[in-house]
Structure 1
């Protein structure tokens, strides 16, 4: 390609980051990135009371937390496991991931750098 020729831009791949409408997943997305979204959402939205109870117990027990916070730890683990095994929740997190990836591929701007307009 000579210097005066410009590369053509594929409208389906505007920033060279892949097709925004592609819904296929790589193994790393399926096994790492989507479970991370699941973990974060479960901890902050769905099991927030169990997380708070466990944190409070750990703060008040200091060095003896392993023995004294078993009940809270068990409740937190049960709550997280219940959500990790929920197929509808997995699909919801997968949809969130695919939307974030499509937005990135469309704009070329990572999620953390995008500013919400109000």
Structure 2
């Protein structure tokens, strides 16, 4: 193998390695805003029972909900806090975010638009 070919091969491997590192690198806004937002949304789903209990209590009590729904509110807060500080859930959301970001970079179509059905022509 010639020196030029070896140099080219080395450059290609280096570029692939750098692109992989770039793909897994998270910016400040991603780690502190976007991924925690996903964690909060998933936490609400995981704590659906407590959310439903608190909502029902608030609807039943009206203006007295501040006093009468303390137990339900405490249970909801506890569940949400537990989920929000769960490292496994954060990692799951991080991987999901990276997958969505990779798909966006590949296609140029945001996740929201990909979920919409494309109209068919008649």
Q: Which range, TM-score by smaller chain? A: 0.7 to 0.9
Q: CA offsets, 1:21-66, max 9 Å, x none? A: 701111111011000000001102x100000001101111111111
**What SS does the corresponding residue of 2:81 show, helix, strand or coil?**
helix
TM-score normalised by the chain length of structure 1 = 0.77
- 2:99 aligns to what? 99
**2:45 pairs with 1:50:** no
CA RMSD in angstroms, aligned pairs only: 1.8
Mapping of residues 20-99 of structure 1, within 5 Å: 22-44=23-45, 46-99=46-99
Q: TM-score, normalised by structure 2?
A: 0.75
Work out which structure has the larger RCO, using CA pairs closer than 8 Å and 6 or more positions apart in sequence. Answer: 1
Structure 1 runs (4+) greater than 3 angstroms displaced: none
Name the larger-Rg structure: 2
Unaligned runs of 5+ in 2: 1-18, 118-122
Q: Which has the higher helix share?
A: 2
Query: Post-superposition shift, 1:116?
Result: 7.0
Deviations 1:63-106 (A, max 9, x none): 11111111011000100111111111110111111111111111
In 1, Cα distance between the equivalents of 2:61 and 2:81? Answer: 25
